[in-house]
Structure 1
Amino acid sequence: MSFSEDRLVTKLNGLDETQDSIVGASRWVLGQHKNIKEIAASWDTFVSKPTINTRRKLLAIYLANDVVQQAKHKRVSEVGVAFGEIMPGALSRVYPELSSEMRQKVRRVVDIWKQRQVFSDSVLKKIYAQLKNAAPHHSSSSSLTSSSSAALTPELQRVVETFDQLTRSQADVNSSKTRFDSSVEALDPTSAVYTDNYKTIQKIGQTAKDALQLSVANREKAIKELQVLLDFQNEQLQQDQNLISEINAIIAAKDPLSLQSAPVEDEVLPVYEPSDGSDSDTDKSDVDEQDTAGRRRRKSSTQSIEDKDDAKRLKTVAVEAQSGLEEGSESADPATYEPTPAEVAVNSPMAVTSSIQDLLSKLAS
C-alpha cells in the first residue's frame, strides 16, 4: 500500500497515552518503511505546526521513539537514519513550547536513545545541544493562563469548556477510527475465522460511530454557544452605535455657534391651558353654554316684561292726561275757576308730552 500523508496525520491525531495506541501506529509506520523519508518529513511538519497542541506533539515523539527502537531491533537502519536527520531540528522547535513536566518526559526519551544507541553520536550531540539551549520554562505562564481563564465572562467560559470537550472527543474519534481502519486492513476474506473477525469489526465500527456521535453533539453545542455569543455582540454593537449618536446630538445642541444663530422671537405667543379632551371638559363647556343661553333668555324675557309695563304706564298716563284735559275743558268755569300754576303745569299738553318723552327715554335706555 502506498504512503499517504493524510493517513499518517490521522494516526497522529488519534494517538493516546496507552501502549496499544502507540504500538499500533508504530506497526503501520514500519509497514511503510520503504517511504520512511516521506514519513519522517511529514512527522516533522506535523509537530512543527503551531496549531497542534503540546500534548499531541509529545505523543508524536512517543510514536517516533517506538518506531526507531523497533526499527533498530529489526535491523531496519534506514528508519533511524531518516528520523536522525530531522529530529534535532524538530526538537529545537517543539521542546521550548513544552511545560516542565513534558520536558522531563522528552529528556527521559532522549536518555533512552543514548543508552540504546538508537541514533549516532553526532545526532545525539545535536539533540542534547537543542535541549540545553532551550529557554527555561516558567510556571508563571501556566498560572497566568489559568488566571486569565478564571477572569473569562460566563459566555466565554462556556465556549472554552465546550471546545475542551470537543478536543477530548476528537481524540477518541481519531483513536477509534484508526483502530477500525487497521482492523479492516487486517480482515482476510479467505480466513477460516472471517465471520468472527467481521463481527469484531462491527463492534469496533460501532465504537467509532459512538465516538463520532459524541463529537457531532459537541460540535452542535459549540456552534450554539458561538451563535449566542455572536448575537450578544451584535446587540452590544448596536447599543454602542446608539450611544455615539446620542453623544453627537448633545454636542451639536450645546455648540455655541448653533446657540448664537438661533432666531429670537419678537412676540411671545399666548399660553393656552391645554385640554385633555376628557368628557368632563366637554360637559363643562356644554353647561357653560347652556347657562349663558339661559341668562340671555331670562334677560330678554325680563326686558320684554319691563317694556310692556312701561308701555302700559305710558298708555295710562296718556289716557289720564287726555281725560283730564277733556274734563277740565267741560267742567271748569272760566269766571269762577282759576287753575293754580301746578295744575296748569300738570294738565298742559307740554307736560303730557314731557312725561311721554321721559317714558320713551327710559324704554330706550
Structure 2
Amino acid sequence: MAYTDDAVLSKLSALNESHESIATTAQWIMFHRRHASQTVHLWLTKLKDLPSAKRLNMIYLANEVTQQSKARHKDDFLNAFSPFIADATAVAYKGAPIDVQGKLRRVVDVWRDRSIFDKEVLQDLDAKLAEIDRARPTAHVGFGGHAFNPSAVPTIPPELNPLVKPQQAVAKAVQPMKNSLSIANTEYDKLADPTTTNAALPVQAARLNGVLKALANAEGAVTQCIQARRDLIRELEKILVTNRDALGSEEKQMMELSGRRTEVEQRKQATERAIVGALATANAEQLPGSHTSGSPAPEPDRPQVEALTPPHVQDHVDDFYGNPFANRETQNGQPQPVPVQSAPAPANGQPAFTSSAPGIEILSNLASQYQAVPLNGSKKRKIDASDEFPDLGADDGIDADVKEMLRKDTQAS
C-alpha cells in the first residue's frame, strides 16, 4: 500500500489492543520511515480524537515503533516522537481510569529503563504526569490506606514549584534544538562534498540557501533553549540564596546553643561537686573523734554482767538476826563461832522457829571455812581442813538430826 495520509489514518483506525495488530501496524509505519515526521503528526491528531479507552493502543504503537527503531539504530522515529511524546502521553493519561493510568506508567518506566528517549524528555513527561496527579480532586484509597495507583508520583514540595515551569520549558526546547543541530550539521557537511562543488551554479545556490535556512533554524532553537535555561538558573539562584540565608541563621543558632550547653554543663558539674562536699562534711560531723566516713564505726563496750555465783550466806546473817560477824574472834587462824542470840518471841503469841535457827548458823559457819577455787570456768568450794569434820568445838546446841545429816553428806562426798 502506498504511503498517503488516508492510508496512515486507516491503519491507525484499525488498530486494536492485540499484540499482532500493534506489531503489524508498527512494521508498516517503519517501512515508510522517510515520512516519519508526517506519520507522527497524524498519530498525534488521531490520538487526540480517540476516546480515553483507546488512547492506550496509540501509546502502545508508539512504544513498539520507538523500541524497534532503537534496536535497529534508526533514529528517524525517535527524533520525530521526542518533541511530542510527553504531550501525547499526558493527553492519554488525563481522564483515564486508574488501571489505564497504571499501564501508562509502566510504559514510561520501560522507556526510562531502556533509555528510549533522552533524560530531558522523560523529566518533562514525569512533570506533566505529576501535575495531572496533583490536579486530581481526590485519590481513591483502598484497603490499608494505599491508593489503587501503586506508582503514583509523590507531591512536589511547595518550595520547588517555581522550578517546574522553567524545567518543562527546558525539556521542550532541548529535543528540537538537537534535531535542528543535527540537520544543520548534516547540511553544512554536504558543502565539503566534492560532488556538490561540481554541480551547476543554480543548484549550488539552492543548496546554500537550504544550508542557511537549516543554520537559522538551529540558531533559533539554540537561542530558545538558552533562554529557557537562563530562566531555570534564575529560579535556582533564588532558591540558592534563600537556602544560604537560612543556613547562616541556622549556623548562628547552632553556635549559640553549643555555648549554652557548655555553660549548663559547667554549672551542673559545680552543683554536683557542692553536693558531694556537703555530704562528706555532714558525715564527718555525725561520726566521733577520728572516725571518718571511710572507716568502720567503733564497737560498743561489753555490758557489765552480774556474776552467777550467789553471795555467802554469812553476808546476810544480819537480815536474819541483826547481828553482824564483823567482830568475830579467831583462834589458830580459824574463825570461832559467836554466840547467837535467840530471836525474840513474836508479840502475837505465835511460836518462833528456835530449833532451826542454830542449824542455819552452823551451816553458815561451815560454809565460811571453805575457800573458793576456780575450776574449768566455774566456782567450787574446797574444804581446807585435814579431818573429815572441822573442829566445831563443843557440840552444844547441835541437834541430833542435823548432826546425822552432816555425817551423811560427808560420807557421800
Q: What is the TM-score of this pair, normalised by structure 2?
A: 0.32
Structure (1 or 2) with the larger CA radius of gyration: 2
Q: Which has the higher contact order (CA 8 A, sep 6+)?
A: 1
